[in-house]
Structure 1
Amino acid sequence: MAYWLLKSEPQVYGIEDLEREGRAIWDGVRNYQARNYLMQMKEGDLCFFYHSGTTPPGIAGRCRVVRTLLPDPTQFDPESPYYDPKATPEKPRWYTVEVAFVEKWPLVPLAELKALFPPDHPLVKRGNRLSVMPVPPEVAEALIVRRGSR
């Protein structure tokens, strides 16, 4: 099992939305590195749901990957802000995963996360806006133990 961090602004789509819906496609990612990480995910991988664009930002819960290598449907929708005119159903350019809600946490703020993540990790590195990234196993385990949930 691998561990990942998925960022979303809570006013756009937050952990409460995923909790209410149960499952969701993680759509709208338009960064090639983030897309490549999405394409590496396997069913059963654990994801930390990170609220960005809020004060304070931080991890708000967990979800699990339940389906992988799904063509992102927003790339084909001309009404979507994530529409990609170069993508076709026969030749998609953007892939994603479906995740299922696991649990909501009291927010683990970025200030606390900086003590857990290596200083060169994209989450704590200044200026990095990557919305999908791997989480080192030792950091993931520390977060899970710290929150008292297994």
Structure 2
Amino acid sequence: LGHTRVAAIGAQRGAASATAQQRVRGYQEALYRAGVPYDPALTCEVSAYRLADGVRAMRSLLDLPEPPEAVFCFNDLLAAGAVRAAADRGLGVPRDVAIAGFDDVELSQFSVPSLTTVAPDKAELARLAVTALLRRIAEDNAEEPPAVLYAGHRLVVRESSGAATS
């Protein structure tokens, strides 16, 4: 939508942060493809993917001398928290800041504004997980490092991004 200051909420460190690291890479790649420079100050770390963490991270972004025009949150709870923080500051979503999440949980459809989100193919995720588990059991190879599996996804455009059509 032409935004040039796009933030991300959800970065994490540590061994359990593989999903967060993939989403950071995806965020950086999307910026690159859009010709928007990556600004590390616009990537917010969180301790967990909860509403309160989204509120805290969004507040820190809004306190920047030049706040973001759009925010990509690594799950929909973080995005709902970000929407709340924007509203607490008197900002309209998407009028003043566009917000998108990830996961397409039920809350996304019914929040106000409804959340634009990335919907993973949950059936494919389940199939991949069960297939990998059965293979691991059949091969009795518990020492093998975990595999990285990728499932499809789709963008569900709703009100919070400002791109929803009436």
Structure number having the greater helix percentage = 2
Structure number having the greater strand percentage = 1
Which is greater in Rg? 2
Instruction: Specify which structure has the bigger relative contact order, considering alpha-carbon pairs within 8 angstroms and separated by 6 or more residues.
Output: 1
Normalising by structure 2, we get a TM-score of 0.27
